[in-house]
Structure 1
């Protein structure tokens, strides 16, 4: 009897841990549609975007990446980008995309509290950072921003194209089974 109860408790604890891991930090990378909308919301995906100061922090490139974000993502472990410094990586679309993917995979978090890690969470995390995206006041401020408005509209447009089947005409290989 004790073995059955103990086994049941162990399995319940493991299930809770698995669910929690799927919500925070397990590594749900953004898909290509999410990455496209992050880039669109940040700069209109303008690949000529350089670096500028924003509140004492330098942000660069089409994804508007900061140096702390780049350092957290640890993109230089990827062989292709090992010789890139922050500025070069942030302004290079492939390296910046890898940086965002690595950051989101490493710090995956349920920012909006809906019990799932989705592209909306990636948007909040990209805009606010891991530590701030789940803070209700910060999240409300972010959700009222031009970035978030553009981002969520892009996701809605992308989803509508995928569901309608129009995406196949524009991007070969896209299908509605992979929509957001």
Structure 2
């Protein structure tokens, strides 16, 4: 199931007593006139009691497929022996801003999820007297200012960022004459 913070899979518990692990496969769907297949590779190995997998992914409208295979303690697997599986195709939500981040910004921005929001960090820009932080607003279709005054350091935490979604940011250097640089862009995924 696509979410605003990635893709979540859920499956029924396997009650076989000799279950050793679940293997999660991710791939792309290929199709011709005769068949439609999921060409995938293993991305995660999970314990026998697991019934859920979460892939934290930037929701940008990408399509793909997943399937989960069970392996017993002797190494037997329905997928590996008979190529049978229950494939789930998905299309991520597309939360990509309609306004692209221009190239050539002097600001190199990083964004990381932290317990109280999103921690932003950037390089010190020569001659800058501060930095303004903007966050993409899906409802207005604009990057909205989240710092009313320029930040004087090279880091800031957005404690108002909602959990359970992906946040995209711009940071612009502000110069003494009041002009702003091109924005540096970044994103962070906040799981629920």
- TM-score above 0.5, yes or no: no
**With structure 2 as the length reference, what TM-score do the two structures score?**
0.23
Structure (1 or 2) with the greater strand fraction: 2
Larger Rg: 2
**With structure 1 as the length reference, what TM-score do the two structures score?**
0.24
